[in-house]
């Protein structure tokens, strides 16, 4: 028995509906809607009218399958609650704006397994390219990316080996530079406060570079304190208090990000501690938030917008010549602010 042909009034429309409504073939409708090939003005007119009247929305799934072309770019980042990744996203969107490409975001929460799953999921939509934060991935993730046959750009970091292209800064060098500036300013009892997430490789590399520079100057960290979760601003306060109580002679606090740095700054100001006289402070990232604080925290711009832009450019193929495997190192600038002695 054949099923009764259910004429669903809300059946989703297809090209055929538009084609019937406008009296031309599906192919012509397709051409009109994509602005492809030659279509006479009168026909185009008629088709557009019909499509609008019906409220037709093309089915990209079918289109993508037929054309083997997908206008999506997968963007995989560890977190959205950080303010740094949204800014990278802004750079990406800006640059992708009129390329017909569209970013699709996946979040990993700093978990390599989650990242692997997200990459798999993304790739199964056959995007035109992938932008992935960081250089550290599971073996399987790297393999999938390498096999995908699309441009891959790893962003934020360049201290390591990229699957394909990479755009970022050297966090080791950033840590080193900050240490050198701090030492040059005369601080000697230097402590570190930062995230303890084992998978925040970039914070780890900054600390490595930082300690390396300290050693070179015959110094070592006077103290260190780690946190995870919670309000970063509050954690910054708390960690600062902890360190200052535990190691009262500390004269500088290096924070792994601006948010906890800001917390530390507010704490010091609250307590009436002389900043940067008695204690110097520095963070990392150059977040906009700092502009509103009572004093400008020393920090280092991570070139987030620029990273997003450059990565998107590579995906969009806007760069001349080179086909892949580019590594673009951007150079962050140290902003001494008002929390390092001069």
Nearest partner of 247 among 320, 188, 175, judged by Cα? 188
- Per-residue contact string for residues 112-141; x = within reach of a copy of itself by CB under 8 A: --------xx-xxxx---------------
Shortest distance, position 152 Cβ to DNA, whole Å: 20
* Closest by CA position to 328, among listed 141, 74, 154, 201: 154
Residue 271 found at the interface with DNA (CB under 7 A): no
Q: How far apart are CA 235 and CA 256, in angstroms?
A: 12
Q: Does 52 bind DNA (CB under 7 A)?
A: no
Between 218 and 230, CB nearer to a copy of itself: 230
Kindly tell me which residue out of 49, 52, 59, 215 binds DNA, with binding defined by CB under 7 A.
59
Cα–Cα distances in angstroms (integers) from residue 189 to residues 41, 215, 265, 297, in the given order: 76, 13, 17, 19
CB atoms within 10 A of CB 305: 17
Q: By CB under 7 A, is residue 14 in contact with DNA?
A: yes
Number of C-alpha atoms within 13 angstroms, CB side, residue 168? 25
Phi and psi at residue 284, in whole multiples of 5°? Answer: -155, 130
Pick 13 or 196: Cβ nearer DNA:
13
Stretch in the footprint of a copy of itself (CB under 8 A) among 16-24, 77-85, 199-207, 244-252: 77-85
272 binds, among DNA, a copy of itself, none (CB under 5 to 8 A by kind): none
Q: Which segment (145-153, 175-183, 188-196, 303-311) binds a copy of itself by CB under 8 A?
A: 145-153
What, of DNA, a copy of itself, none, does residue 120 touch, CB below 5 to 8 Å by kind? a copy of itself
Smallest separation, CB 105 to a copy of itself (Å): 5
65 binds DNA (CB under 7 A): yes
- Which residues have CB under 8 Å from 227's CB, separation 6+? 193, 194, 195, 196, 235, 238, 239, 260
Binding region for a copy of itself (CB under 8 A) out of 179-187, 231-239, 247-255, 332-340: 231-239
User: How far is residue 230's CA from residue 38's CA, in Å, rounded to a whole number?
Assistant: 59
CB of 127 to DNA, least distance (A): 14
Q: Which is nearer to DNA, 62 or 80 (CB)?
A: 62
Q: What is the dihedral of CA 103, 106, 110, 112, to 10 degrees?
A: -110
**330 φ, ψ to 5°?**
-95, 155
For residue 69, the minimal CB distance to DNA (Å) is 6
Binding site for DNA (CB under 7 A): 12-16, 24-28, 30-31, 33-34, 36-40, 42-43, 58-59, 62-63, 65-69
């Amino acid at each position: 028995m054949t099923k009764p042909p259910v004429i669903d009034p809300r059946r989703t429309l297809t090209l055929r509906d538009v084609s019937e409504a406008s009296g031309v073939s599906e192919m012509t409708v397709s051409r009109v809607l994509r602005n492809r090939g030659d279509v006479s003005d009168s026909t185009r007119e008629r088709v557009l009218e019909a499509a609008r009247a019906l409220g037709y929305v093309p089915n990209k799934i079918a289109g993508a399958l037929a054309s083997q072309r997908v206008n999506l770019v997968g963007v995989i980042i560890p977190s959205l609650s950080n303010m740094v990744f949204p800014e990278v996203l802004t750079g990406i969107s800006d640059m992708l704006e009129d390329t017909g490409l569209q970013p699709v975001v996946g979040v990993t929460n700093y978990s390599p397994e989650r990242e692997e799953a997200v990459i798999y999921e993304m790739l199964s939509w056959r995007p035109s390219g992938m932008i992935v934060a960081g250089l550290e991935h599971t073996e399987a993730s790297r393999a999938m990316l390498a096999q995908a046959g699309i441009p891959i750009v790893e962003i934020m970091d360049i201290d390591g080996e990229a699957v394909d292209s990479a755009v970022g800064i050297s966090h080791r060098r950033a840590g080193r530079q900050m240490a050198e500036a701090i030492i040059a300013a005369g601080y000697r009892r230097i402590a570190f406060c930062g995230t303890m997430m084992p998978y925040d490789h970039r914070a780890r590399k900054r600390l490595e570079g930082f300690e390396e520079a300290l050693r070179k100057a015959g110094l070592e960290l006077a103290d260190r304190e780690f946190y995870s979760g919670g309000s970063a601003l509050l954690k910054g306060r708390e960690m600062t208090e902890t360190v200052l109580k535990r190691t009262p002679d500390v004269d500088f606090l290096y924070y792994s990000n601006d948010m906890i740095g800001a917390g530390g700054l507010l704490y010091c100001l609250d307590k009436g501690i002389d900043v940067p006289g008695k204690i110097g402070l520095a963070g990392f990232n150059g977040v906009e938030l700092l502009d509103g604080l009572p004093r400008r925290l020393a920090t280092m711009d991570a070139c987030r917008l620029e990273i997003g832009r450059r990565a998107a450019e590579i995906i969009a193929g806007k760069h001349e010549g080179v086909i892949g495997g580019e590594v673009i190192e951007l150079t962050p600038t140290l902003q001494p602010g008002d929390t390092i002695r001069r």
